[in-house]
């Protein structure tokens, strides 16, 4: 495929570039001297210097934390031109896509488990939802705690916990302006400015982007703005605030399904890869997916004395989504109706789906006390936490989901739209109050123990928009965690840990679908054991290995004599066993490395349907590897080359394992040059995603309603960027 690089800026991007071409105002004042310093041009290279995180909750360095944690810093994201979550997660082999496609919200699975959009995501340690696209430009790092996170987040899916940490004001004033373009004709301008108003540090990020893709009728745009403030109210007391706005408007590209090649009503054949660039959401009446999200967070940090500190945080988030799509799903033109999938000749039914003004709001607060004490001759680090969360979903009274006709993947057909909103929506409320405590004890000079407990009180309610089918319930759950570490030498730590997570579920209140419609099911507890070792190979390189076992129960449907199934808690159980290996850091002054390998055996160990027992969990590879390397060319000062190689084994597409995606690999490459232009520090970057233009099916998630969809690899895409520091 021919690749071109269009450096023409859109009107909005050009205007932003001119507006910030000479941001001298950013240098007029000096931020508070207590803020941490940063050298922006140095951080533009992947220095991989993060040695501790917030997501684990124990306050230890990564080398001394008995948990598997991945950190993707802003320097690493910049070096790989990762501007979205799905691009960033290629940097760790334990992370994977989940229904990630152009123009839509991006999901994530960890250790083979899909994260819950409402409970598995944090922003600066406070709960947020993942129902809208996430902007990466103001993120200092993305922290991922892998495995059960019941101690850290209470009720959540067992795969892990994602914490987006935003950029904060720094000591030294600076302004960087980055102008970029890609080979599809897209363009972006990004300003990152750090200054001060008296004793208050201010960090501003502004973005304007035009989005262009290889898909027909899938171009869009986005705008982003954020402000971070920090100041000292008194010695030892700092107050901070973080505000952001993000708007994205772009048609989403639906996935394809399997083909029913023998017309028996069962789709069981992968389509040819030449369909992977097809967009069936290209009807004349197709409207873009649109999301507007706002976040506001405030925090007070107080150092009580040398041993104790306190933090109070408050956050709110609101998202409004226009979810619209010409949705291809199933086929009614063959001898037998096909669902999910397509008919043998490529026919597929299309539905006009429109869900307007989906409003979701989240309020969260967290009060934390941390400190040190001595008891029974042992030093302890204590953390006490009380937190709360409220999440509301307010939808339009009705949505549209109307059959529009049948099109064909070989010869697409123009169909009439029908936006009649006739289907009732369901609104929901959720409130959680959590209390947790953890204790880290130095049992000897080389042995530490870690114990923690969280109790969560959850209240949920939902009802159709006409007031019918109301469901409400309350449950209290407790999730413990314990670990033990041993450091035979200062550079090496071995650890063992055990923990529980919990998920709550009510049967959908649809009497025509479930015998026990609306019933609240008993809480389902996941359980994890993990053994690991961490070796600080030298001060800038951390090598880790972990072996884990996670058992997760699911609700499942039992047949009844009425023909309507009974949904039961714990009807099936998945066991995910695996080994993770990683090496991260600067090998020497020239070579930076982020490498990981995951071996994962994810199978059902129990199920209502006995044929599922022993089957591989769908859309989860057994083997996955990721290798990123950045090398500074000694002969040319300021010149670096980088590469990202990812590889994975095949994934099961169908529950019986009869259909699988082939093994796949992809190579991305980058070139970066730093110099001074008219006295300004300047960085020139060129990145190529999918350098060899490999065309393959990237993932095949099965959704909760039973549909299975295929999503393609990103075609070769060239991205160029120039960043100037003022």
pLDDT in tens, 527-543: 999 999 999 998 899 99
For 355-386, the DSSP string reads EEEEEEEEEEEEEEEEEEEEETTEEEEEEEEE
- Comparing C-alpha atoms, which of 54, 127, 115, 55 is closest to residue 389? 127
In the predicted model, is pLDDT for residue 371 greater than 60?
yes
Tell me how many degrees the CA angle 689-591-80 measures, rounded to the nearest 5.
Answer: 20
* Chain segment 291-307, per-residue pLDDT in tens: 999 999 999 999 999 99
Rama region for 701: left / alpha / beta (φ>0; ψ in -120 to 50; rest): beta
Return the pLDDT at 43. 57
Helix (H) or strand (E) holding 87: helix 85-88
Helix (H) or strand (E) holding 43: helix 40-43
In the predicted model, is pLDDT for residue 25 greater than 50?
no
Token representation of residue 461: 């309610």
* Chain segment 412-450, per-residue pLDDT in tens: 999 999 999 999 998 999 999 999 999 999 999 999 999
Helix (H) or strand (E) holding 143: strand 139-146
Question: Is 253 in a helix, a strand, or coil?
Answer: coil
Are 386 and 369 in contact by the 8 Å Cβ rule? The answer is no
Half-sphere exposure of 88 (CA within 13 A, CB side): 28
Token representation of residue 198: 């008296």
In the predicted model, is pLDDT for residue 10 greater than 60?
no
When pLDDT is averaged across residues 476-487 and rounded to a whole number, the result is 96
When pLDDT is averaged across residues 262-274 and rounded to a whole number, the result is 91
Q: How far is CA 58 from CA 197, 481, 493, 542, in A?
A: 34, 12, 16, 19
In the predicted model, is pLDDT for residue 178 greater than 80?
yes
Strand-pair category, 541-558 with 524-538:
antiparallel
Q: Would you say residue 67 lies in a domain? A: yes
Task: Between 209 and 377, name the one with better pLDDT.
Answer: 209
The pLDDT-based confidence of 39 (bands split at 50, 70, 90) is very low
Return the pLDDT at 473. 85
| CB-based burial label for 84 (10 Å; 0-12, 13-18, 19+) | middle
What does the alpha-carbon distance between residue 211 and residue 53 come to, in Å, rounded to a whole number? 33
Q: Would you say residue 419 lies in a domain? A: no
Return the pLDDT at 642. 97
Residue at token pair 């306190």: 310
State the sign of the Cα–Cα–Cα–Cα dihedral 706, 707, 708, 711. Answer: negative
Domain interval for residue 658: 11-301+314-408+424-725
Return the pLDDT at 33. 39
- Comparing C-alpha atoms, which of 584, 591, 596 is closest to residue 536? 584
In the predicted model, is pLDDT for residue 41 greater than 90?
no
The pLDDT-based confidence of 523 (bands split at 50, 70, 90) is confident
Token representation of residue 196: 């001060």
Q: How far is CA 552 from CA 555, 619, 683, in A?
A: 10, 17, 47
Total residue length of the chain: 726
What does the alpha-carbon distance between residue 31 and residue 54 come to, in Å, rounded to a whole number? 25
Return the pLDDT at 64. 95
Give me the chain's average pLDDT, please: 91
Residue at token pair 């006739």: 422
Contacts of 214-218 spanning 24+ positions with Cβ under 8 A: 214/184, 214/277, 214/715, 215/102, 215/253, 215/277, 215/278, 215/279, 216/279, 216/282, 217/251, 217/279, 217/281, 217/282, 217/286, 218/102, 218/103, 218/250, 218/251, 218/252, 218/253, 218/279, 218/281, 218/282
Return the pLDDT at 382. 97
- Comparing C-alpha atoms, which of 621, 144, 57 is closest to residue 385? 57
How many percent of the chain have pLDDT more than 90? 79
Question: Is 76 in a helix, a strand, or coil?
Answer: helix
When pLDDT is averaged across residues 251-262 and rounded to a whole number, the result is 95
Give 447-513 as a 3 state SS string: EEEEEEEEEEEEEEEEEECCCCCCEEEEEEEEEEEEEEEEEEECCEEEEEEEEEEEECCECCCCCCC
What does the alpha-carbon distance between residue 78 and residue 59 come to, in Å, rounded to a whole number? 27
Q: What is the CATH number of the domain that holds 247?
A: 2.40.170.20
Strand-pair category, 651-652 with 398-408:
unpaired
**Residue 592: strand pairing partners:** 586, 630
What does the alpha-carbon distance between residue 147 and residue 501 come to, in Å, rounded to a whole number? 9
Strand-pair category, 121-123 with 160-166:
parallel
Residues 6+ apart with CB under 8 A from 399: 353, 354, 355, 356, 421, 423, 425
Residues 6+ apart with CB under 8 A from 103: 218, 220, 250, 251, 252, 253, 288, 289
Token representation of residue 352: 């006009």
Are 464 and 425 in contact by the 8 Å Cβ rule? The answer is yes
The pLDDT-based confidence of 74 (bands split at 50, 70, 90) is very high
Residues 6+ apart with CB under 8 A from 216: 279, 282
In the predicted model, is pLDDT for residue 11 greater than 70?
no
Token representation of residue 464: 């159709």
The pLDDT-based confidence of 6 (bands split at 50, 70, 90) is very low
Strand-pair category, 259-260 with 342-343:
parallel
**Backbone angles phi and psi of 41, in degrees to 5:** -65, -35
Q: Would you say residue 4 lies in a domain? A: no
What does the alpha-carbon distance between residue 691 and residue 1 come to, in Å, rounded to a whole number? 11
Are 494 and 446 in contact by the 8 Å Cβ rule? The answer is no
Diameter over CA atoms, the chain: 81
The pLDDT-based confidence of 287 (bands split at 50, 70, 90) is very high
Tell me how many degrees the CA angle 435-441-447 measures, rounded to the nearest 5.
Answer: 140
When pLDDT is averaged across residues 78-87 and rounded to a whole number, the result is 93
Q: Would you say residue 701 lies in a domain? A: yes
The pLDDT-based confidence of 44 (bands split at 50, 70, 90) is low
Domains identified in the chain, total number: 1
Lowest mean pLDDT among 28-32, 360-364, 492-496: 28-32
The pLDDT-based confidence of 507 (bands split at 50, 70, 90) is confident
Return the pLDDT at 87. 93
Q: Would you say residue 415 lies in a domain? A: no
Q: How far from the centroid of its chain's Cα atoms is residue 264's Cα?
A: 38
Q: Would you say residue 413 lies in a domain? A: no
The pLDDT-based confidence of 16 (bands split at 50, 70, 90) is very low
Are 670 and 75 in contact by the 8 Å Cβ rule? The answer is no
**Backbone angles phi and psi of 139, in degrees to 5:** -95, 125
- Comparing C-alpha atoms, which of 261, 213, 250, 206 is closest to residue 17? 206
In the predicted model, is pLDDT for residue 17 greater than 70?
no
Residues 6+ apart with CB under 8 A from 167: 74, 138, 139, 140, 192, 203, 205, 228
The pLDDT-based confidence of 21 (bands split at 50, 70, 90) is very low
Q: Would you say residue 324 lies in a domain? A: yes
In the predicted model, is pLDDT for residue 469 greater than 90?
no
In the predicted model, is pLDDT for residue 31 greater than 80?
no
Q: How far from the centroid of its chain's Cα atoms is residue 651's Cα?
A: 20
- Comparing C-alpha atoms, which of 142, 144, 128 is closest to residue 67? 144
Return the pLDDT at 703. 85
């Amino acid at each position: 495929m021919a690749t071109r690089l269009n450096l023409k800026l859109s009107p909005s991007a050009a205007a932003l570039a001119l507006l910030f071409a000479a941001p001298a105002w950013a240098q007029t004042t000096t931020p508070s001297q207590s803020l941490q310093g940063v050298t922006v041009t140095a951080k533009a290279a992947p220095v991989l210097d993060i040695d501790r995180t917030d997501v684990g909750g124990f306050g230890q360095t990564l080398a001394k934390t008995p948990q598997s944690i991945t950190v993707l810093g802003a320097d690493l994201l910049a070096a790989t031109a990762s501007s979205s979550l799905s691009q960033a997660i290629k940097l760790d082999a334990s992370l994977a896509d989940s229904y990630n496609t152009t123009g839509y919200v991006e999901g994530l699975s960890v250790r083979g488990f899909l994260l819950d959009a409402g409970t598995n995501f944090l922003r600066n340690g406070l709960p947020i939802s993942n129902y809208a696209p996430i902007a990466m430009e103001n993120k200092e790092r993305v922290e991922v705690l892998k495995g059960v996170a019941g101690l850290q987040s209470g009720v959540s899916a067992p795969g892990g916990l994602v914490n987006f940490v935003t950029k904060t004001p720094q000591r030294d004033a600076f302004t960087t302006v980055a102008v970029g373009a890609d080979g599809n004709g897209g363009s972006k301008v990004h300003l990152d400015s750090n200054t001060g108003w008296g004793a208050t540090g201010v960090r501003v990020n502004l973005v304007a982007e035009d989005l262009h893709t290889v898909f027909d009728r899938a171009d869009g745009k986005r705008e982003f703005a954020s402000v971070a403030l920090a100041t000292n109210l008194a010695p030892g007391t700092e107050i901070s605030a973080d505000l952001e706005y993000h708007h994205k408007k772009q048609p989403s590209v639906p996935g394809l399904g399997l083909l029913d090649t023998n017309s028996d009503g069962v789709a069981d054949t992968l389509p040819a890869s030449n369909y992977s660039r097809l967009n069936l959401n290209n009807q004349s009446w197709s409207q873009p997916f649109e999301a507007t999200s706002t976040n506001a967070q405030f925090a007070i940090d107080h150092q009580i004395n040398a041993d104790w500190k306190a933090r109070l945080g408050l956050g709110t988030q609101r998202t409004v989504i226009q979810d619209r799509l010409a949705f291809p799903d199933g086929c009614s033109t063959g001898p037998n109706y096909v669902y999910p999938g397509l008919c043998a000749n490529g026919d597929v039914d299309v539905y006009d789906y429109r869900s307007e003004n989906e409003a979701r709001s989240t309020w969260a607060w967290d009060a934390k006390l941390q400190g040190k004490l001595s008891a029974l001759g042992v030093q302890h680090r204590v953390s006490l936490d009380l937190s709360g969360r409220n999440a509301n979903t307010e939808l339009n009274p009705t949505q549209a989901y109307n059959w529009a006709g049948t099109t064909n993947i070989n010869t697409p057909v123009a169909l009439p739209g029908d936006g009649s909103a006739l289907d009732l929506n369901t609104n929901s409320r959720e409130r959680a109050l959590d209390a947790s405590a953890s204790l880290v004890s130095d049992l000897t000079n080389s042995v530490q123990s870690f114990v923690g407990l969280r109790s969560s009180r959850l209240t949920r309610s939902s009802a159709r928009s006409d007031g019918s089918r109301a469901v409400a319930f309350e449950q209290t759950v407790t999730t413990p965690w314990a670990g033990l570490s041993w450091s035979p030498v200062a550079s090496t730590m071995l650890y063992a840990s055990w923990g529980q997570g919990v998920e709550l579920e009510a049967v959908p209140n649809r009497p025509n679908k479930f015998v026990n419609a609306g019933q609240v099911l008993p809480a389902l507890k996941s359980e994890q054991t993990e053994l690991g070792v961490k070796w600080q190979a030298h001060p800038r390189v951390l090598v880790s290995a972990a072996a884990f076992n996670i058992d997760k129960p699911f609700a499942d449907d039992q047949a009844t004599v009425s023909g309507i199934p009974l949904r039961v808690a714990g009807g099936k159980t998945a066991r995910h066993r695996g080994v993770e290996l990683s090496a991260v850091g600067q090998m020497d002054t020239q070579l930076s490395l982020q490498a990981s390998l995951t071996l994962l055996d994810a199978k059902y160990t129990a199920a209502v349907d006995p044929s599922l027992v022993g089957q591989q969990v769908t859309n989860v590879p057994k083997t996955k590897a990721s290798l990123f390397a950045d090398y500074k060319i000694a002969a040319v000062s300021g010149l670096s080359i980088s590469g990202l190689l990812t590889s994975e084994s095949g994934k099961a597409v169908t529950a019986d394992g009869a259909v699988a995606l082939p093994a796949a690999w992809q190579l991305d490459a980058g070139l970066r040059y730093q110099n001074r232009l008219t006295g300004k520090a300047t960085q020139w970057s060129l990145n190529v995603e999918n350098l060899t233009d490999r065309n393959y099916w990237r993932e095949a998630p099965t959704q909760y309603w039973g549909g299975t969809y295929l999503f393609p690899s990103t075609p070769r895409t060239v991205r160029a960027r120039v960043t100037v520091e003022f």
